[in-house]
Amino acid sequence: MPKLKGVILSVEDVLVRQGPGDALIFSEVTKLIKYLKNTDTQFVVMTNRQWTTDNGSRPLVDALKEVWGEFTYLCRSTDSRIPAKPRAEATEYVLNLMNWKSNEVLYIGASESDMQTAVNGGLLFLRATWYANKTDYGFEFDAPKDIARFIDTFCFRDHLWCHEIHDNNFEYYALAPFSTMKAEYTLYSEDARKAAKQGLGHPDFWVGAIISSLYFSGIHERINYITVYPGHKAGSGNVVMNDSMAIFGKCFRKNYLPDLIVRHTTAQKSQTARNQGLALDHLNQLNTIVLNKAPLRTPIARYKSPPLGKGKSVLIIDDICTRGYSLEAARTFVEQTGAKAILVSWLKTINTDIVELAPFNKFDPYKPTTFSNQRAHKTHSYHENIVDHLAPGELSEIFADYKNWEWPT
């Protein structure tokens, strides 16, 4: 599986700040650089202009190398072969120079120009705010230690997905099994349930895990839009995932549509139904959702015409998948528009198969519809679609480390 090979760092407000610096913060930046070196992660510092220190008497690169040792420093103003940021050619130059692929690289920056550079290059943008907070884009990190924790936890994983299903139009991924009864899955499963249902636990862990798996596996390159499946109550979106999925989408010019799938009527809650001995099926989902013809394109602007259609792909994310009723209902509605759906969940309930529906006759996905029946097309075996038996063990390990992460000694 692809994993992190390199990091591109900007200078201003990442390594140093314009004007008076902060020695304490710089010492933390140095810890981050040391961490990258100790993990054999290559890094490149990239800037358009020359930087100096000691009241302008010494090039910054010399001062940095004195502290950090040798590294690649690319400065447009001293080497005209280097394309200027924020052009796409700038990051392309770095990737070619270092022999990296775009989904093997993180871009750490702090400015609007840095954001544009990362987006133009198709790179995951980590926004450093320890010196200043100059843009709303990118995943925000208040301290170098937070970035080191993100990298150490999510970016060197060997096992990105535990479950995968690839069967004609049906495409599904999950990080690991869900079970609060099986010891090896209990700790992370209980936390995932708290995060998904109550916003407690460690929502940032689950967001980081899903984002890194999407990025390093390259799924983000095959989609046009991102959305999440709503909870059982009437409404749309997902409080835990809304902001992070919007940021992830902006990194790659993939619009996040928080209200594409709308729950027009509160659905029967699965856990409640089980407690009452009731058997639910796809109809509980199919009869309570609808697609929004004019979803939000930005927080304040809507599409004037439906964005979905032939040749488009939508990434649909849910938290915990049991038999796939929710995601399969979403796929059914999305495919009525001619678009393709790629389905992802944080976790997959242990020992339960996913039931794929047969195609429906043509219906209007933008109007609430009452279906009286559905026909199962295929059952996807839980066990036969485990593609990596080591994924849950790795997830359990990184979850334990994430909660109490400290700088390696």
pLDDT band at 111 (very low <50, low <70, confident <90, very high): very high
Considering the four listed CATH numbers 3.40.50.1970, 3.20.20.140, 3.40.50.1000, 3.30.420.40, the one that applies to the domain covering 6-154 is 3.40.50.1000
- Tell me what pLDDT residue 269 has: 77
Cβ neighbours, 10 Å, residue 260: 29
Listed in sequence order, the residues at least 6 apart from 340 whose beta carbon sits closer than 8 Å to its beta carbon are 169, 171, 312, 313, 314, 334
What fold characterizes domain 163-394?
Answer: Rossmann fold (3.40.50)
Give yes or no for a cis peptide into 86 (omega within 30° of 0): yes
Q: How far apart are CA 288 and CA 311, in angstroms?
A: 27
- Tell me what pLDDT residue 89 has: 98
Closest to 178 in 3D by CA, of 35, 45, 324, 314: 324
pLDDT band at 271 (very low <50, low <70, confident <90, very high): low
Extract the runs of DSSP E, i.e. beta strands, from 110-212: 124-128, 139-141, 163-167, 170-178
pLDDT band at 134 (very low <50, low <70, confident <90, very high): confident
- Tell me what pLDDT residue 56 has: 78
Bigger pLDDT: 21 or 303? Answer: 303
* Confidence check: pLDDT of 21 > 80: no
* Mean pLDDT along residues 373-381: 92
pLDDT band at 335 (very low <50, low <70, confident <90, very high): very high
Residue 111's alpha-carbon distances to 5, 91, 277, 288, 365, in angstroms, are 23, 16, 55, 43, 41
* Confidence check: pLDDT of 388 > 70: yes
CATH 3.40.50.1000 in the chain, residue ranges: 6-154
Helices then strands, each counted (H, E), the chain = 12, 19
* Mean pLDDT along residues 355-373: 95
Percent of the chain at pLDDT exceeding 70:
97
* Confidence check: pLDDT of 361 > 70: yes
Please report the sign of the dihedral spanned by the C-alpha atoms of residue 383, residue 388, residue 393, residue 399.
Answer: negative
Question: Residues 372, 279, 262, CA angle at the centre, nearest 5°?
Answer: 60
Bigger pLDDT: 25 or 21? Answer: 25
Percent of the chain at pLDDT exceeding 90:
88
* Confidence check: pLDDT of 279 > 90: no
Q: How far apart are CA 37 and CA 40, in angstroms?
A: 5
pLDDT one-digit tens code per residue, 217-258: 999 999 999 999 999 999 999 999 999 999 999 999 999 999
Ranges 15-24, 33-42, 235-244, 352-361: which has the least confidence = 15-24
Mean pLDDT of the chain: 94
* Confidence check: pLDDT of 18 > 80: no
* Confidence check: pLDDT of 384 > 90: yes
pLDDT band at 278 (very low <50, low <70, confident <90, very high): low
Question: Residues 108, 35, 119, CA angle at the centre, nearest 5°?
Answer: 15
* Confidence check: pLDDT of 332 > 70: yes
- Tell me what pLDDT residue 53 has: 87
pLDDT band at 108 (very low <50, low <70, confident <90, very high): very high
